[in-house]
């Protein structure tokens, strides 16, 4: 049973006070961190901060022993402020097409950086001299629930092709950089239980072929959180497959970097009904939250369960389009969902909204996005 059912009264009160609102249950964040550590034989677990950077969420995952993965210097500065005393060396920095000044600033802060462009070893040689780095490898095939979240293959802007690794290794030696790890991330929301194992085997072979100083392989993240009627991801089976794969190169530590799995279920988006409209055979339920607060459905057709929290348990009165107030035809949060009779002022809850929700919000149409509250 989702956590929010037991907290219904508190959530209705929060929505009555102000709407729309993201609400995060920190106990769920902590439990997912424990589930992950129990099921997956990883030497290091790094939380992908881009999924949800709320300070209370960051402190919860750090309290559970996780490290942090950041994709921009702005995320690095944010986490070092949000978690006072957190050592910068426990931050993995994985930029993509970031400017030279940003990368230089991140390195000054003391984080460990990932390089995903072989040309940078020569072009920015002064930045890498004497440093240990990780190289992001493109495994060649992207996986994920939508093309926009696949992060491998020639059509993806991420990573270095394996064919370019010998030249990169030579450039690293030439400029005094030490490649101590390889990284691969194929995409997000996939249901393939063997992705981590495949990445571990590939990276292990490449490390031994080209980088004798390599100490770790980072097999990425991307595991899904439960949505809709999809069966839950078998985390224990994925962990067992990874355990078998790492035996091929037992001297290499294994890192993983989950994001969505840790926080998606912990968050809900509360919104109030603004209008109900019938147009031909279609019923529209309009909310005070739209794609400016939750972009995922418009961006890549993401599914989120939606319920009328004010009338929880009421029978459906036919399908409804759940829409927001943004002046775009794509401002649809859910299509053709069974929904009860609904009135202006009802509180609607959008589930599994703790990942890639507020962090992707905007002020489009000059509408303020939902605020955040942590329980």
Residues 79-120 pLDDT 10s: 999 999 999 999 999 999 999 999 999 999 999 999 999 999
Nearest alpha carbon to residue 354 among 294, 291, 293, 268: 268
135 with 279, same domain: the answer is no
| Catalytic site includes residue 70 | no
Q: What is the CATH number of the domain that holds 359?
A: 2.40.37.10
189 with 273, same domain: the answer is no
Q: Enter the DSSP assignment of 137.
A: B
- Across 38-142, the runs of DSSP E, i.e. the strands, are 44-48, 67-70, 91-93, 112-115, 132-136
Total of domains in the chain: 2
189 with 80, same domain: the answer is yes
18 with 34, same domain: the answer is no
Across the range 40-66, mean pLDDT stands at 97
10 with 109, same domain: the answer is no
Domain boundary among 236, 262, 288: 262
31 with 117, same domain: the answer is yes
186 confidence band (pLDDT: 50, 70, 90): confident
Q: What is the CATH number of the domain that holds 237?
A: 3.20.20.10
6 to 10, 19, 51: CA distances (angstroms): 9, 20, 25
Domain boundary among 207, 236, 262: 262
37 confidence band (pLDDT: 50, 70, 90): very high
CA angle (11 as vertex; 5, 12 as ends), nearest 5: 105
Residue 139: per-residue pLDDT:
84
228 with 286, same domain: the answer is no
Nearest alpha carbon to residue 15 among 7, 325, 264: 7
Residue 190: per-residue pLDDT:
55
One of 129, 317, 327, 336 is an active-site residue; which one? Answer: 327
253 with 164, same domain: the answer is yes
198 with 281, same domain: the answer is no
Structure tokens at 257: 């970097």
Structure tokens at 19: 């709407």
Structure tokens at 54: 């709320």
Helices (H) and strands (E) in the chain, counts: 13, 16
Q: Which residue has the tokens 């775009």?
A: 328
132 with 276, same domain: the answer is no
78 contacts 53 by C-beta, under 8 angstroms: yes
Q: Enter the DSSP assignment of 368.
A: P
Q: In angstroms, rounded to a whole number, what is the distance separating the alpha carbons of residues 80 and 71?
A: 14
Mean pLDDT of the chain: 92
Domain boundary among 262, 280, 298: 262
Q: In angstroms, rounded to a whole number, what is the distance separating the alpha carbons of residues 190 and 223?
A: 6
121 with 154, same domain: the answer is yes
Q: Using DSSP, state whether 262 is helix, strand or coil.
A: helix
Q: Report pTM.
A: 0.92
Contacts with 347 (C-beta within 8 Å, 6 or more apart), sequence order: 11, 12, 15, 16, 19, 270, 271, 272, 273, 308, 309, 310
**Where on the phi/psi map is residue 251: left (φ > 0), alpha (ψ -120 to 50), or beta?**
alpha
110 with 224, same domain: the answer is yes
Q: Which domain holds residue 100?
A: 27-262
């Amino acid at each position: 049973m989702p956590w929010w059912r037991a907290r219904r009264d508190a959530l209705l009160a929060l929505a009555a006070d102000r709407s729309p609102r993201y609400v995060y249950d920190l106990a769920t964040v902590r439990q997912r961190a424990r589930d992950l550590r129990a099921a997956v034989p990883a030497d290091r677990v790094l939380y992908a901060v881009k999924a949800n950077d709320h300070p209370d969420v960051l402190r919860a995952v750090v309290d559970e022993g996780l490290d942090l993965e950041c994709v921009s210097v702005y995320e690095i500065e944010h986490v070092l402020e949000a978690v006072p005393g957190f050592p910068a060396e426990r931050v993995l920095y994985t930029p993509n097409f970031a400017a030279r000044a940003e990368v230089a600033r991140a390195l000054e802060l003391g984080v460990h950086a990932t390089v995903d462009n072989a040309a940078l070893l020569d072009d920015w040689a002064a930045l890498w001299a004497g440093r240990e780095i990780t190289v992001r490898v493109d495994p060649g095939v992207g996986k994920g629930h939508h093309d926009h979240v696949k992060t491998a293959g020639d059509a993806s802007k991420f990573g270095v092709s394996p064919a370019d690794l010998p030249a990169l290794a030579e450039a690293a030696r030439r400029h005094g950089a030490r490649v101590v790890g390889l990284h691969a991330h194929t995409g997000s929301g996939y249901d393939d239980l063997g992705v981590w194992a495949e990445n571990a085997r590939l990276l292990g072979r490449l490390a031994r072929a080209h980088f004798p100083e390599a100490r770790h392989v980072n097999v990425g993240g991307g595991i899904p959180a439960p949505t809709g009627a999809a069966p839950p991801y078998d985390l224990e089976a994925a962990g067992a497959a990874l355990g078998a794969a790492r035996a091929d190169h037992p001297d290499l530590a294994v890192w993983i970097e989950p994001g969505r799995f840790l926080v998606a279920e912990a968050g809900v988006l509360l919104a109030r009904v603004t209008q109900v409209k019938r147009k031909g055979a279609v019923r529209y339920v309009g909310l005070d939250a739209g794609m400016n607060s939750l972009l995922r459905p418009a961006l890549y057709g993401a599914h989120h369960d939606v319920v009328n929290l004010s009338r929880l348990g009421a029978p459906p009165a036919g399908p409804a389009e759940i829409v927001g107030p943004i002046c775009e035809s794509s401002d649809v949060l859910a299509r053709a969902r069974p929904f009860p009779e609904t009135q202006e002022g009802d509180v609607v809850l959008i589930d599994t909204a703790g990942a890639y929700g507020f962090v992707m919000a905007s002020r489009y149409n000059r509408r303020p996005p939902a605020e955040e509250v942590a329980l």
